[in-house]
Amino acid sequence: MKKLKVGVLGATGSVGQRFVQLLDGHPWFELGALFASERSAGKRYKDAAPWVLPSEMPEEAAEMVVKPMKAIGTSSTEEIAVMFSALPGDIASVVEKQGAQAGCAVSSNVVVHRMEEDVPLVIPEINTNHLALIAAQKLKRGWDGFIITNPNCSAIVMTLSLKPLMRFGMKSVHVSTMQAISGAGYVGLSSMAILDNVIPFIGKEEGKMESEPLKILGTLEGSEIKPAPFTICASCHRVPVMDGHTEAVWVDFEEDVSVEEVKKAFLDFKTDIKTPFSPEKPIIVREEEDRPQPRLDRDAGNGMSISVGRIRAGNVENEMKYIVQGHNTVRGASGASILNAEVLVERGYI
C-alpha cells in the first residue's frame, strides 16, 4: 500500500518527540509535516528540538522545517491524512478542530476532547466498535475529518487489565499508581523535587483515572455510550522512575473469583487486530513474585504490551488484587495514538 502522509502537532514536546521517533520507518505512514509554536516555526526540527539526542533523531525529521499551527488547512497540508496531536490542552481545543475541519483524521493524545459524547475514546483491543461515533461526529459538526482520542497514560494501563475481568462482574475498582517522571513532560519536574522523593499528588490525574475507563468499557447504544456499571477510586503518585507506570489494583467482584480464574482471564485475552503497532500479546502475565518492574518490563511488546503480576486474593470477600505495569510514553501516549490511526486504516475510516 502507498504510505499515507501524517503530521505531528506539538512536535517539539516530549510526547511529540516520541511520535517522531516511533513514526520513523513506519510501513504505513510517512512523516509529512511537523507543527509547533510560533517560537519554533521556520526552524529545522533538529534546531527547534535541540534536547533530542542526535543518535535518536530520525534523519528525515532532522532537516524538516517546522510549520506554524496557522498553516493547518492551507495548501501546504492538504496531503496530510492523519494528524497526531501532542499539544497542550488549551491549544488542542482549537487546533485539533481545525485539523478535523480541514479533512484530517486527528488521532489525539490530549485530554481536552476525550469525554465529549461524539468523540471515540479508544483502546483498540477493547472498543473499536466505538469508532461508529465518527459518523455521528462528522454529521453533527459538519466536518470532513474527525477526532479520535486515546486515554490518559495511567488509565490505558489499568483499563486494558480490567477488560478481561469484566466477565466476572465488577462492583468497584481501587487503584494506587506509581507514575514515572516522563509523564510530567520534559520540564515537568525538577530533579530536586523528585530525587529521593515521592510526590503524592498529580493534578487532575485521579479524575481521569476514575472517569475515562468507564467510557472505554461502556456500551455503545446508538450514538451514545452508556458508562460501565462500576465505580473507580484512584490515588495517583509520582515516583523517581524515568519511564513506566506501575499500578496496584484492587477489584471487588459481584461473586467469588479465584486467583486461577483471574490469571487465566489475563492469559486468554487476545485481539484480532493485526497492525504494525499491535502487540502479539496485549497482556503478559509475570509469574515471578517481584514482577512486574518498570526497568524489566516496560519495553514488553516494543512498549505496547502491559504486564500483570502478584495476582492474589484480597482481604475482603470477593476481592482480588494485582500489580500492572506499562510504558507510559509508548503504550500510554504516542504509541497508543499511532495504533488508533492504524486501526482507522485497517477498518476503512481513512
Question: Could you give the residue ranges of the DSSP H alpha helices within 79-119?
Answer: 89-101
Residue written as cell 484530517? 104
Whole-number CA gyration radius for the chain: 20
| Cell representation of residue 25 | 520507518
- CA–CA separation, 333 and 114 (whole Å): 13
Given the residues 104, 130, 236, 245, the one annotated as active site:
245
CA–CA distance, 273 with 281 (Å, rounded to integer): 11
Give DSSP secondary structure letters for 312-347: EE-SSTTEEEEEEEE-TTIIIIIHHHHHHHHHHHHT
Annotated active-site residue 153? The verdict is yes
Q: Which residues, 6 or more positions from 64, have their beta carbon under 8 angstroms from its beta carbon?
A: 31, 33, 34, 44, 45
Asked about 233 being catalytic, the answer comes back as no
Q: How distant is the alpha carbon of residue 219 from its chain centre? A: 20
**Catalytic-role residue among 113, 153, 236, 327:** 153
Query: CA torsion 336→337→343→346, rounded to 10°?
Result: -130
Retrieve residue 247's grid coordinates: 499500578
Catalytic residue positions? 153, 245
